[in-house]
Structure 1
C-alpha cells in the first residue's frame, strides 16, 4: 500500500492521479483515482461576476423580559439548484439557508450557498429559528446529495432512540444511508452562548417530513434536554423539524460564520452548501474605536458593506466584501462530486466490515479540483484604485490556503483582524510576509487591500498552498504548490480607475482597539492529536483522534491516552477558570483546532519528540518556545497545530455547559477527531 508520502495531483483529464516520491525524490504516478466527471480544464475561468452575499432579513424585532432588544430570524435549510459553474454549464443541486419570513417588505427571501449574512450588533441578542426543511413539495424527506457512510460514529437515525448517536454494528458492509438528513447549526466563534444554542453535534433533528420511518429517531440524544433549557432561559419553544437558539453577541466585533454540525456528517452537510457569514459590529472594540494616528481622530475603514434591505442585485458599490473560499469537484451534469468509496483516497477497495477496520466510504481527506468564491467557480470582481476591506473565510474541506498577491503589481495588503476581532496592530503582509497569507480551515482574516498603486488591468489572486495535506513549511520548498491551472487560481480582480477620492485611513496609520489580556492560568492541560493507522492495511489511516497525556512532557516522556467521542468528558474546566491547553501534534499533518464557546490567546509553539512505538511525547531537548505569529495576536477560535510541535493556548471558560473541541478538517472531525468538554459541573437531567 501507499505511505503518507503519497499525495494527490490533478491531471488534465477527468481523474485525480496519485503520486509517490521515488528514491531519487522524483514524483512518479502510481495510480489513477476517479474524480468528478467534469474536467476542470473545461470550466472557463473569470466568466462569472462575484456574488457579494446580501444581508439576511430579520423576521421581527422585539423586547424580551428585562428590556433587552432581540433581533429574530426564521431561517430554513432547503434544497435548490444554483448556477455555481459558469453560464453554459449545468446548474448544481445544493443546500443552503435562507429566510422564510421578513419584517420589511424589501426583505430578501433568498436561499443561496453560501447563505445570506447575518449582521449582528454587539451585546444585542440574535434569536434564530433554525428549520430543517429538507423535504420535497409533497412533504417527503429528501435524501442526502452525497454518499453517507453509516459505519462511523454518527447521528444514526435508523438506530432509534436506543441506537442514535452511536457507531452501529454491522455483520457485513452496508450500503450508503439514504434516509432523512439530520441538521444542527453552529455559529462558529460565538462566545457566551449557552450550550443549548451552540449546535452540539448530538442535538440534531430531522425534517418534519410525512414519511419518516416509525422506528427512526427524529432527534439526537441532547435535543430534548436543550429544548427544555431554551424554554427556561429565553422562552423559546422547539418542535418537530426546528430548534430556536439565541446568541448574546458578546464577542469583540469580528467575523464569525455559521454552518451545520451534525455528528459524523459535517463534512457532507457543509459540502452540500449550508454555511454563511455572521458579522458582529460595534461595541468597545468595534470600528468606531479605531484612531487615525496622524490626527488623533476616529479612523475610517473602507465601506460600505451590504446592509439589510439593500436592493438585490445591488445598486451601489461595496468596499467591504466577505469572501468565502471553498473547494469543490463536479460531475459533467453539474452535480457535486464527493467520493463514494475509500478507494478514491488510497485504492483500498476492501474488504471492509467485518474483515477490517477501514470504513468503506469515509476518506481521510478530500481536496476538490476547483475553487469557488461566494458560490461561483473562479469568479471575477471589478475593483477601483482604492482600498478595500476583505473579510475572508477558508471554508474548504481539508485544504490549507496560502493566498498569494504577488501577481498584482503595486498592491499592498495589510491584515487588521482575525477570528477574534482586531489584532494588536496592523500587519503589513506585503512588506513583511512576502505578500502571502496562510489560512487554515475555518480561519477568518480581516484585510485591507490597497489597489491605489495597481495599474488598471486584470490580475489573478493565486493560491500557493498544497493540493495535499499541509505540514507547514514554504511553498515550492517544502511542498509542491497547487496546480497553477486550477486550484492555484482563486479569482480575478479587474482594476479600474477610482471614481472618487478614497476617504479611508491608510492602514499604517490605524491604531487598533486595546486588547485586554486574559488572567493567568490556574491549570495547564496537555492534550494530544493522533492518527490511528489500520491494523489490516499498511500505512492506511483508519481514524483521526484526540487524547490526553499522562505526566508533564517537559519533565519526562508522557504517555498518551486515546479518547473516542463516546468516552466520558476528560476536559472539565471549572466555571470562570483560565487554563492553558497544550496541543501536542503527534501526526504528520497540521490540524486547524477549534474550541467551541471560547476566544483564546495563542501563546507559543515548541518542538517535541514523538516516540510512536512507546506512544509517548516529550519536549525536544534544547528546544525553546517560539511566540505566536503577528497575525495570531488578540483572540482566536481556530489555530493551526503543526506536526512535531506543541501549540499552547490560553482560554477563560465563563459559560457553563456541554461543548466540543475538534479538528476543522471536517473529514477528521467526522471520524473521532472531536471530543466533548464540559464547563462546570454536570447539569441535572443531562443525557448520560
Structure 2
C-alpha cells in the first residue's frame, strides 16, 4: 500500500462547522436499529442501443421514520428521496419530468455537463401538474452525481423535504476496473443528511430556518434512521453523497479501519488514495472501497461522523475478494489554458450578509461570460475571517473542473479528479481550471443551501461560437413570486421563502 493518510485534509478545526455558535451536534436517534434502505434503480420506460428514457415524478407523500405518525415528505417516484437513476455514457438521455407537488419546482442535474435549459436551475420551473421532457447526450466519465430541486430561493426547503436522489453514470472504463459492482450487495450508496423532528414527527423547515444553514440532530442515511447494513462481501464500495443543507461530515470507521478513495464528484481519481478519515462538504461525492477482511462473522464495525455512529455494519460470512486496485484508475483530459482571462470569485459573509463579489444573486444579471472551447482559470476565495468563518463549498453548474492549487500549493491528494464542488476554507484561495461543453446560463454558488438561497450565488452565460447570438430565457423574481402566491392562494407580499429573509433583512429586493 502507498502512503496512508490518517488525518482530515482540512487540518484546522477553526474552519469547521462545529465551531459555529449555531452548530447542531448529531445524536443517535432513539429508535430501534433499522435495515439501511438501499434506493432501487429507476427502471427506464424504454432503452435502445442509443437512447434511454425515464419518467421522473416529484410527488408528496408520507414516510414512516419514527414510531407513531408518519412524516410528511416529498420524493421522486416515491415518498422520500428517489430511486437511483443510471445514465450510460454515449447514449442520448430523455427525461420526462412531472410535477405533482402543490408548488413549482425544478430538476437540477447536479454534476452533469448539459445545456442550460436542461441543467434545471432557477430559470426552468415546472409548475404544479406540468409535464415536460428534456434530452441531452451523456458524454462524461463514470461518476456519482445527483438530482435535486433548485427553485431559488426555496431550494433549501425542497431539498429538506426530500427532493434528492443519486445519478450513476457508467462507462467502459468503470466496467473493466476490478472494483465492486454489485449494486445493493457490494456497491452501496450512502446519502448523508440530517433532520429535526417536531410534534407528530413532522419537519418544519421555516421553524428551523437559519441563514447559515438548516440542521437537525438526527442523522438520516438513505432516508433511514439508526441504520445497519449486513456485510456479506469482503470489499464494499460506498458511493457517499453529502446531501445535507449545511453539515460537513467528518467520517471514520471504528478501529480506524483504513479505506481507499477511488472517485470524487465527476470521475475516478487518477490514482487511489488510502486514508482513515475523510471530510466531505455539502454536495460533494466521494467513492471509497472498504476491506472488511480482518473481521469475522458476528463482529460489528461502525461508521462515525465525529463521535456519533451513523451506520452499523454487521459482519456475516463474507464472499472473499482478492482483487487489487491498479495504480492508475483513469486518464483524464487536462487541456491547456487557451484564454488569459481569469475569473475572480470572492465568497463573503455569513448569515444574511452572504454575497459573491460584493453582490447578492439577481436572476436577471449575468456576472461572468465564457465561450465553449475556452479553457480558463477561475480563482475562488473565501474572505471569511480565519478565526470565525465557515468553509464555503463552491459549486459550478454545467461543468466539471480540475483543481489546480490551494493557496498556491498542490490540491489535497483526493482532489485530482474532475470536480464540480470544492470546500474553500476561510482566508483560502483555490485555483480551478474550467471549461464548458454546452451553452446556456449557469449558476455558481456556495452549496450551503441557505447561503445560495440567501444570495451567495451568481451566474455565467456560456455561448457557442457557432451561435454567438443565441438567446436564453431568464426567470424573474416577480414571475416566480406571483406563481407561488397563486399556488398558495395568498398575496405576493405574503409569500415566505427561506432566502427572501436574507434580502429583506439587508433592505434589498431579490
TM-score, structure 1 as length reference: 0.62
The answer (yes or no) to whether the contact 1:364–1:543 under 8 Å persists in 2 is no
Aligned length: 448
Task: Report how far residue 322 of structure 1 moved.
Answer: 1.0
**Distance (whole Å) between structure 2 residues aligned to residue 653 and residue 422 of structure 1:** 19
Aligned pair in 2 of structure 1 residues 183, 385: CA closer, same or farther (>3 Å)?
Answer: closer
Gap change, CA 1:276 and 1:678, over 3 Å in 2: same
Cα distance, 1:655 vs structure 2: 1.5
Partner of 2:316: 496
Q: Tell me what 2:494 maps to.
A: none
1:84 aligns with 2:84: no
- The answer as to whether partners of 2:156 and 2:245 remain within 8 angstroms in 1 is yes
The answer (yes or no) to whether the contact 1:543–1:668 under 8 Å persists in 2 is no
The 4+ residue runs of structure 1 with deviation greater than 3 A are 8-12, 684-688
Residues 513 and 542 (structure 1 numbering): CA distance in 2 closer, same or farther, change over 3 Å? closer
Cα 1:662/1:324, change in 2 over 3 Å: same
Mapped to 1, the partners of 2:401 and 2:161 lie a distance apart of: 30
Aligned to 2:215: 367
List gaps (5 residues or longer) in structure 1: 13-39, 63-67, 99-110, 135-141, 143-180, 209-240, 291-299, 307-317, 345-360, 430-434, 465-483, 533-540, 548-560, 607-624
Q: Compared with structure 1, are the counterparts of its residues 542 and 576 closer, same or farther at alpha carbon in structure 2 (3 Å cutoff)?
A: same
Of residues 80, 90, 105, the one that matches 1:183 is 105
The answer to whether residue 118 in structure 2 is matched with residue 197 in structure 1 is yes
1:189-230 alpha-carbon deviations (Å, 9 max, x no partner): 001x1111110212213213xxxxxxxxxxxxxxxxxxxxxx
TM-score by length of 2: 0.83
1:412-457 deviation digits (Å, cap 9, x = unpaired): 300011112110100001xxxxx11110101001111000013441
Alignment CA distance shift 1:568-1:363 (3 Å): closer
Q: Which residue of 1 aligns with 2:93?
A: 126
Structure 1 counterpart of 2:447 = 664
Q: Could you report, residue by residue, the CA deviation over 1:140-183 in whole angstroms, capped at 9, with x for unpaired residues?
A: xx4xxxxxxxxxxxxxxxxxxxxxxxxxxxxxxxxxxxxxx111
Q: Does the C-alpha gap of structure 1 residues 198 and 41 become closer, same or farther in structure 2, counting only changes over 3 Å?
A: closer
Higher RCO (C-alpha under 8 Å, 6+ residues apart):
2
Match of 1:647 in 2: 430
Structure 1 match to 2:229: 381
* 2-structure distance, mates of 1:525, 1:194: 21
Does residue 321 in structure 1 map to residue 288 in structure 2? no
Distance 2:93 2:25 in 1: 46
- The alignment partner of 1:632 has SS state of coil
Name which one, 1 or 2, has greater alpha-carbon Rg. Answer: 1
- 1:598 corresponding residue in structure 2: 399
User: RMSD between aligned alpha carbons?
Assistant: 2.2
Q: Partners in 2 of 1:639 and 1:9 — Cα distance?
A: 21
Are positions 1:75 and 2:56 aligned together? yes
Map of 1:207 onto structure 2: 128
1:50 corresponds to: 36
C-alpha displacement of 1:71: 0.9
Q: Residue 415 of structure 2: which of 632, 638, 641 is its match?
A: 632
Task: Classify 1:685/1:48 alpha carbon distance in 2 versus 1 (closer, same or farther; 3 Å).
Answer: closer
Which position in structure 2 is the counterpart of 1:562? 359
| 2: CA distance, partners of 1:250 / 1:648 | 25
Give the unaligned 5+ runs of structure 2. 1-17, 476-510
**Inter-partner Cα distance in structure 1 for 2:428 and 2:330:** 31
2:461 to 661, 678, 688: 678
Q: The residue matched to 1:420 in structure 2 has which SS?
A: coil
Residue 542 (structure 1) aligns with: 352
* Structure 1 equivalent of residue 14 of structure 2: none
